[in-house]
A = this chain, B = another copy of it.
Amino acid sequence: MLSGELSVTTRSHMEMIDVTAEIAAIVQHNRIHSGLCTVFNPHTTAGITINEGADPDVQKDLVGVFQQMVPRDYPYRHREGNSPSHMMATLTGSSVNVCIENGSLKLGTWQRIFFCEYDGPRSRKLWWQILTA
């Protein structure tokens, strides 16, 4: 088992940041031939997802429609005012799994791995773990 941490600096209140190259470089640098890579988000107002990376408008649409779907004007009890960000974290999920085969991350043609900032801008972390097999 190998594991480590990535730093992610976000620059907006909400944005999706493509971290695929960093994860792929970890797999290559450690010469992992096959296994399971888990990328875990340790924050409660952020998430991690896999979606289209070719057109940046997709990421903008996802951020926009999240803001539309999760109400701002609900009578939230949590005093920090970021309950919608917590809701988006649960809707997105806290980790993704990607298989490693023949020395590479096995993603679909259009897939990229995105850190999802829902309460930024902030300095964030991602944790990765690779089970080799």
Q: Give the interface SS of chain A, mostly helix, strand, loop or mixed.
A: mixed
The A1-37 residues at the B interface (CB cut-off 8 A) are 1, 3, 34-36
Minimum C-beta distance from A96 to chain B (A): 6
Residues of B within 8 A of A133 (CB): 1, 131-132
A62, A70, A96 interface centre (most CB from chain B within 10 Å): A62
Given A42-B107, A51-B44, A51-B89, verify A34-B94 contact (CB < 8 Å): no
Given contacts A1-B133, A69-B70, A78-B58, contact A52 B86 (CB under 8 A): yes
Q: How far is the CA of A35 from the CA of B95 in the complex (A)?
A: 15
Query: In the complex, what residues of B have CB within 8 A of residue A34's CB?
Result: 1, 3
Interface string of A71-83 (1 = CB under 8 A from B): 1001111111001
5 examples of A-B residue contacts, CB within 8 angstroms: A1-B34, A1-B36, A44-B52, A62-B87, A65-B84
Residues of A within 8 A of B (CB): 1, 3, 34-36, 38, 40-44, 49-52, 55, 57-58, 60-62, 64-66, 68-71, 74-80, 83-84, 86-87, 89-99, 101, 106-111, 125, 127, 129, 131-133
- A-B interface, 8 closest residue pairs, ranked by CB to CB distance from nearest: A42-B108, A1-B133, A57-B77, A44-B52, A61-B83, A50-B94, A57-B78, A99-B129
